């Protein structure tokens, strides 16, 4: 793939993501994406022949970004459980943001994609199940899964703006989870 082609694909994905975040997935049309990206509809269809293909690409890009961050944290010396906790600490990864923009975008795209592409939903579910089967192979799988569910619960409360803890409390929760994760990583 040429650099120009890759740039065009990224512009299209950025435009689609912006439309989803600003106007909701119901306003996501191929015409609107092409217009927002400044690309002809033919150019869009060359790269993404359907709305489903576009949504799949958005989700895959976001998943790749998250996987890359997870791997990067481990390369920085964090154990796998602590790296997982730190993925949720957006105040450290994204100091300019106070909410999980990437995760909110991913949630919207995931839900939409799952409704229209059952095959993709099954592949994603398999990948996640495989990751968490390996993830819980620690010295304390119960504590490991408690950490996971605590983080996922915080993320869901932020997605839906229900029961969101104040920033200071959230930072204290993350710090406590990091302590627990570090203990598990050290013992495993």
Q: What is the pLDDT of residue 150?
A: 95
CATH superfamily membership of 1-49: Homeodomain-like (1.10.10.60)
Q: For 152-157, what is the mean pLDDT?
A: 86
Q: Of 56, 89, 91, 55, give the one whose Cα is nearest residue 70.
A: 89
Question: What is the chain's mean pLDDT, rounded?
Answer: 85
What are the pLDDT digits (tens) for 10-34? 999 999 988 887 887 778 899 999 9
Asked whether residue 147 carries a pLDDT value surpassing 90, the answer given is: yes
Q: What is the pLDDT of residue 100?
A: 40
Give the separation between CA 64 and CA 67, rounded to whole angstroms.
Answer: 5
Asked whether residue 81 carries a pLDDT value surpassing 80, the answer given is: yes
Q: For 65-93, what is the mean pLDDT?
A: 86
What are the pLDDT digits (tens) for 36-69? 999 999 999 999 999 888 988 888 888 888 889 9
Task: End-to-end CA distance of the chain: give it in Å, rounded.
Answer: 42
Cβ contacts of 142 within 8 Å, gap of 6 or more: none
51-55, 66-70, 169-173, 177-181, range with greatest mean pLDDT: 177-181
Q: What is the pLDDT of residue 167?
A: 86
Contact indicator for 62, 102 with CB cutoff of 8 Å = yes
């Amino acid at each position: 793939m040429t650099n120009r082609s890759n740039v065009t694909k990224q512009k299209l994905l950025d435009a689609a993501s912006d439309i989803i975040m600003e106007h909701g997935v119901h306003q996501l049309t191929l015409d609107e994406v092409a217009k927002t990206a400044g690309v002809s509809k033919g150019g869009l269809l060359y790269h993404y022949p359907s709305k489903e293909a576009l949504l799949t690409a958005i989700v895959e890009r976001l998943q790749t970004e998250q996987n890359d961050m997870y791997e990067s944290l481990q390369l920085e010396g964090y154990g796998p459980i602590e790296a997982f906790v730190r993925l949720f600490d957006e105040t450290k990864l994204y100091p300019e943001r106070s909410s999980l923009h990437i995760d909110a975008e991913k949630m919207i795209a995931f839900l939409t994609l799952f409704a229209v592409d059952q095959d993709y939903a099954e592949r994603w579910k398999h990948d996640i199940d495989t990751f968490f089967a390996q993830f819980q192979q620690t010295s304390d799988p119960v504590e490991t899964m408690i950490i996971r569910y605590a983080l996922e619960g915080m993320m869901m409360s932020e997605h839906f703006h229900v029961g969101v803890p104040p920033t200071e409390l959230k930072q204290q929760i993350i710090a406590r989870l990091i302590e627990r994760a570090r203990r598990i990583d050290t013992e495993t």
